[in-house]
Amino acid sequence: MTNARSLPALGVLLAASAALSDTVVVTTGFDDIDIDWQTATIADLPGPDGKVSFSEAMIATNNTPGHDRIEFAIPQSEWQLQFLFPGRAVVKAINTFFWRANDPVTIDGTTQTAFTGDTNPDGWEVAFFGGGVFVNGDDSEVTGIDSLPLDVTGDNALIHGMSGTTNITLYDSHGSMVRDNFGTTIKIDRSNDVTVIGNTVRRVRVQGFVSEFGTGPVLNTRIGGPTLAERNYITGYGTHNGEGYPGGTTVELFDTTGTIVENNWIGTTPDGMSSGSNASTQGIGFSGENHDVLIKDNRIAGILGIGMGPHAAGFLFGYGILVGGTGSGVVITGNTIGLNALGEPVLGSVTGIEVSDYFAGPMQDVTIGGTNAGQGNEIAGHLFNGVTIEPSVSGVLIAGNSIHTNGELGIELLNTGFNYGVTPNDPLDTDIGGNGLQNYPVLTGADAAGASVHIFGSLDSTPNRVFAIEFFANTECNPTGFGEGERLLGRVDVMTNGGGIADIDATIMSPVSGSEWITATATDRTTNNTSEFSACVGVTGSGACLGDASGNAVVDVDDLNMILGAWGTEVGAGSPLDLAGADGWVDVDDLNMVLAHWGTACP
């Protein structure tokens, strides 16, 4: 077998460790012991039977000072349990008491592949049955094992290149790395400074247990990273209970600080085209107490638990991200939530993001999106709402996102009665609920002229406050008549007077077409409370030819070449090259504008 991503580095690491350690070779899958477990060292192997079992290898390396290696060369004549593990040399437990490495050790299952060849097309050629391995020594390494329950308590461990149904648990294992594994679960339990990259698994759990055991939060976990090689494919975890209700969290954050979840594909098959589990109900779930968590540039999709008999058939459950518990400083930025790998909004949940008071909350200082280029999330394809803010939650900044094609509202602020639907504005904005039930703007017109649009209206809210008004263009108006916010056009600040009124009269340097609908949100800059979307207004005036960078009245190869030629440059808002019109940069948003309108002739 093999995991091609791990092989080059694997060869360097193993060659280096081989030069610095004593080596013992396991030659049988039967786990007999005929050496003195208290005193035997590598020099005492093999015992009287002429073979070396895995337990004997562990005994000998524990009793031999230094960082040792365990390799495998089990002849096929001794392979057992082939009906369960075809093509694999199986190490079968008699008593797993000795499957504990207390000294630094490298356990290298790839050596069995080197000995017998690639006999298992689905993974590595050595597997374990009847128990798990415990690695307690610092600076240890485990690689090339198929379907192994592995518990690591030593610091600075390297666990890589595993396959099958491997479960990896790090407990009090600080500074360790888990990379390039195929398996079921990776669990980070009270272990700080752990890196999890390049894996394909069903779920990742990070647990600190602040209140239960007083051990403090898990610090500085990194799940994924900016490069393709660092991306984890976390396909979805869940089970159905006896009533048929699904439940399960694919990435679980419980009592953590400084966690980064970046550039992963969460909830889908590795190709990003299908749901990875019909029982997962949370893509990323927060509980306990979490601080300073960054959720960045992930694809979160396919999180839709499907109820089954006897009592839940036909029911659907699921959140792309559920922010519960207590803590502060959660930033959710640059993610696509509900879209497949082609950017189609067909893998949504019931709700894209919900910020809840579940588990003793609510969380403080939550940001969804941002005001800089690339910080906005695309949240689309959900059966219910794009974003839901529960009644006791406040201060959730929702900015710079593309929210569209959701079944109900783009942004839902719930009142204390948990009444769903558009929340009416109230004079002076004194009502109570999610994000303070911040009033939304009332737009009265949008007049397009070339590459700009003049939008006017008003905001009735808290007196003498500054509010950020964000404007959006939409291909269609939401059936409610309010929202959503498909394409960000720009933002302006307004200030309410003593009566709580602010006029909106803004010229936004961003092109819109005559067939689009304009909406807006309001964010109180003092509290960071963001409103629901305003009612839609249609565009009047000449409008723009969307995607026509060259100005030749047709979207064609000239426009494509202009965008590619200026790729990655800052051209300023209102430039003909800034086709999407929101950030002043030539980037993927502008390319998508050309492709979406390819071949269109403008009047």
Distance CA 251, CA 276 (A): 13
Assign 3-class secondary structure to 88-141: CEEEECCCHHHCEECCCEEEECHHHHHHHCCCCCCCCCEEEECCCEEECCCCCE
- Predicted confidence (pLDDT) per residue in 24-60, tens digit: 999 999 999 999 999 999 999 999 999 999 999 999 9
Distance CA 409, CA 386 (A): 7
Check residue 18 and give its pLDDT. Answer: 42
C-alpha dist (Å) from residue 85 to 28, 78, 90, 392, 428: 16, 13, 7, 52, 69
Percent of the chain at pLDDT exceeding 70: 95
The class that CATH gives domain 438-542 is: mainly beta
pLDDT band, residue 212 (cuts 50/70/90): low
pLDDT band, residue 95 (cuts 50/70/90): confident
Residue 355 has pLDDT above 50, yes or no: yes
- Predicted confidence (pLDDT) per residue in 554-601, tens digit: 888 888 888 899 888 888 766 778 877 667 788 888 888 888 888 888
Check residue 465 and give its pLDDT. Answer: 98
Backbone angles phi, psi at 143, to 5 degrees: -155, 155
Check residue 552 and give its pLDDT. Answer: 81
Check residue 578 and give its pLDDT. Answer: 82
Of 276-280, 424-428, 592-596, the poorest mean pLDDT is in 592-596
Whether the CA torsion 309, 306, 261, 163 is positive or negative: it is: positive
- Tell the residue number behind the tokens 């590459």, with chain if given: 451
Residue 474 has pLDDT above 60, yes or no: yes
Give every CB contact of residue 393 below 8 A, 6+ residues apart in sequence.
355, 356, 357, 361, 362, 363, 366, 434, 435
- Tell the residue number behind the tokens 């991200």, with chain if given: 321
Give every CB contact of residue 28 below 8 A, 6+ residues apart in sequence.
51, 52, 53, 74, 78
Closest by alpha carbon to 530, among 498, 487, 483? 483
Check residue 581 and give its pLDDT. Answer: 61
pLDDT band, residue 544 (cuts 50/70/90): confident
Mean model confidence pLDDT for the chain:
93
The DSSP line for 358-426 is TTT---EEEEEE-SSTT---EEE--SS-SEEE-TT---EEEES-EEES-SS-SEEE-BTT---SPPPP-
Give every CB contact of residue 565 below 8 A, 6+ residues apart in sequence.
none
pLDDT band, residue 170 (cuts 50/70/90): very high
* DSSP class of 580: S
Check residue 213 and give its pLDDT. Answer: 60
- Cβ(179)–Cβ(200) under 8 Å? no
pLDDT band, residue 159 (cuts 50/70/90): very high
pLDDT band, residue 333 (cuts 50/70/90): very high
- Cβ(164)–Cβ(189) under 8 Å? no
Q: Does residue 355 or residue 561 have the better pLDDT?
A: 355
- Predicted confidence (pLDDT) per residue in 377-395, tens digit: 999 999 999 999 999 999 9
Check residue 211 and give its pLDDT. Answer: 59
Residue 215 has pLDDT above 50, yes or no: yes
Q: Would you state the structure tokens that stand for residue 62, as one six-digit string?
A: 């524990």
Check residue 15 and give its pLDDT. Answer: 41
Distance CA 259, CA 173 (A): 16
- Angle at which helix 557-565 crosses helix 588-596, to 10 degrees, equals 180
Check residue 17 and give its pLDDT. Answer: 42
Closest by alpha carbon to 538, among 409, 448, 458, 446? 446
Check residue 119 and give its pLDDT. Answer: 96
- Predicted confidence (pLDDT) per residue in 282-308, tens digit: 999 999 999 999 999 999 999 999 999
Residue 110 has pLDDT above 90, yes or no: yes
Distance CA 456, CA 434 (A): 27
Check residue 16 and give its pLDDT. Answer: 42
Closest by alpha carbon to 167, among 182, 177, 179, 155? 182
User: Residue 222 pairs with which residues in a beta bridge?
Assistant: 195, 260
Residue 313 has pLDDT above 50, yes or no: yes
Distance CA 131, CA 416 (A): 51
Distance CA 301, CA 212 (A): 32
- Predicted confidence (pLDDT) per residue in 497-529, tens digit: 999 999 999 999 999 999 999 999 999 999 999
Where are the domains positioned within the chain? 1-130, 190-383, 438-542, 547-596
What average pLDDT does range 396-401 have in this prediction? 98
Q: In 155-258, where do the E strands start and end?
A: 158-160, 167-171, 177-179, 185-189, 195-197, 200-201, 203-207, 218-219, 222-224, 233-234, 239-240, 246-247, 249-257
- Tell the residue number behind the tokens 């994000």, with chain if given: 435
Number of residues written out for the chain: 603
Distance CA 396, CA 390 (A): 11
Look up the pTM and report it. 0.92
Check residue 573 and give its pLDDT. Answer: 67
Backbone angles phi, psi at 37, to 5 degrees: -65, -20
- Tell the residue number behind the tokens 């995607």, with chain if given: 547
- Tell the residue number behind the tokens 């092989």, with chain if given: 7
Distance CA 523, CA 539 (A): 23
- Cβ(495)–Cβ(502) under 8 Å? yes
What average pLDDT does range 81-97 have in this prediction? 94
User: Helix, strand, or coil here: 356?
Assistant: coil
CA-derived radius of gyration, the chain: 28
Check residue 214 and give its pLDDT. Answer: 61
Distance CA 263, CA 223 (A): 9
Residue 277 has pLDDT above 70, yes or no: yes
* Type of residue found at 220: N
Residue 16, burial from CB neighbour count under 10 angstroms (0-12, 13-18, 19+): exposed
Residue 424 has pLDDT above 50, yes or no: yes
Backbone angles phi, psi at 54, to 5 degrees: -65, -40
Per CATH, the number for 547-596 is 1.10.1330
Check residue 2 and give its pLDDT. Answer: 46
Query: Is the previous residue joined to 252 through a cis bond, with omega within 30 degrees of 0?
Result: no
Q: Does residue 579 or residue 428 have the better pLDDT?
A: 428
